[in-house]
Amino acid sequence: MQRPELLGDRYELRGLLGRGGMAEVHSGWDVRLGRAVAIKLLSAPLSAQPDSRRRFDVEARAAAGLSHPHVVAVHDVGEYRTTPYIVMERLSGRTLADALDHGPLPDHAVRALLDQVLSALSAAHRAGVLHRDIKPANILLTEDGSAKVADFGIAKLADSADTMTGQIFGTMAYLSPERIAARPATVADDLYAVGVVGYQALSGRLPFPQENLAELVRAISEGLRPPLAALRPDADPALVDVIERALARAFGSATEMRAALPGGLPVRPPTRVLESPPVDPTTRVVPVRRRRRRRPVIAAIGAIAVVVMVVVAFVVDSASRPSAPEPAGSTTSEPSPPTTSVLPPPSSAPVPTDQQGPPKDRGGGNGKGNTNGHKPKHSQGG
């Protein structure tokens, strides 16, 4: 049995999975890693057109630059016999379009679907990528029911020049009035398409089901659609409100729309919010430092005062005792050694009765341990 030809000496090309306007998607096998993959090949007629090849390259770069649990992962890119191809993760589930063929989805499923799609778009928009073709056929459902956004074939990169005023890309039923008017694509256009998907998933029909192109353009431009609440009066009003606001282009970002979903997380404002209210610096720093600096000073003054009182008491006691009699027969008298004064006694100490006149103040102080006649200065926090 002849071995199938390998793309890039690595990928076996197997059965056809689907075909779109630009490309075919085949089942494939990665012989190097031993895993199933999906291989997207640009159709042969478009492979010779530089614009189509450039758009295919934009898709590869846009998807490959996003690593997100709700974006179909791109593993590799290459060219096979002059035909570009993209190797993607293989999902064994189905598309949202397949699921909607069986009717509308319950509230909780629609809410989870929109949350996951908006999470993917939030990451894409932060990376400077606009999808521009959000629709049920480009939302894949895995076996566990989660959603993954695929097909960035007409995505707009921030550094690319593929989008020009006057050109319209995308599926008409999911385009906003601004896109139909050929204005440049914006984030609000992707969110509008998410609103259309939500409307369709909740009601089982498109908000603008007109098949005639002129009538469809007029209905979208004028917003001629039945209110979603009239089609699903039993639906969660909060969910219905988010979808209606998306169709009215009322959201500025995917994160904002995601937060508005029932049970969504609140969005932080663009300005930074302090975790705790500000504290007056005069009460936060100065009193604490003042108490810490004064305690050792007060303790030192108290210790000095105790020492002074002990020394003064000793001096007073020595002065009040009578002099010892000289021994008999002594013809010479040796003068007593002078008394060393440490500090003048405090003003509260009693004055000896045998002292003539007030004691002299040798230091010019006030008797409280300082020498300049002023109270000691304490630190005020620096």
Q: What is the dihedral of CA 178, 184, 189, 193, to 10 degrees?
A: 80
Q: Which of 197, 188, 379 is nearest to 291 (CA)?
A: 379
- Which residues form the catalytic set? 133
On whether 40 is known to bind a ligand per the annotation, the reply is yes
> What backbone phi and psi angles, to 5 degrees, belong to 17?
-100, -35
Contact criterion met (CB below 8 Å) for 214 and 222:
no
Contact criterion met (CB below 8 Å) for 115 and 143:
no
What does each C-alpha distance from 318 to 212, 233, 291, 351 come to in angstroms? 124, 108, 41, 13
DSSP string, 32-52: TTTEEEEEEEE-HHHHT-HHH
Q: Which of 125, 153, 40, 156 is nearest to 91 (CA)?
A: 40
Q: Quick one: residue 81, left, alpha or beta (phi over 0 = left, psi -120 to 50 = alpha)?
A: left
Q: What is the dihedral of CA 50, 55, 56, 62, to 10 degrees?
A: 150
Please tell me the number of Cα atoms within 13 Å of 145 on its side-chain side. Answer: 9
Return the SS3 of 244.
helix
Tokens representing 95? Answer: 């598309």
> What backbone phi and psi angles, to 5 degrees, belong to 332?
-125, 150
Binding residues for ATP: 40
Binding residues: 40
